[in-house]
Amino acid sequence: MDRPIEVIARAGARGEERPRAIRLTGTTVAVSAVLEAWVETAPEPGTGIRRWFRVRLEDGRTLALYHDEALDGWFWREPV
């Protein structure tokens, strides 16, 4: 299940490109590494693009995050 998340990101030429930190339950946790990044286009034209990032946090956790351009928001997906 995808959940909204607050992400502090470095703005680049195409908008919010790289997550630098996340906020969970009022606590800010830095991203120590971007392990993987990819772009997913929506199946229907004009419905948006998702920019995905698999990141390692400074506390050792690994998360899959994405920025949904159509919704202009960040989300995270729990590991399965």
What local confidence, expressed as pLDDT, does residue 42 receive? 73
User: Residue 6's pLDDT band (boundaries 50, 70, 90)?
Assistant: very high
* Three-state secondary-structure class, residue 45: coil
pLDDT in tens, 44-58: 766 788 999 999 999
| pTM for the model | 0.83
β strands within the chain, DSSP E: 2-4, 6-12, 15-24, 27-41, 49-57, 62-68, 73-77
Residues 6+ apart with CB under 8 A from 57: 22, 29, 30, 31, 32, 63
For the chain, give every domain's residue range: 2-77
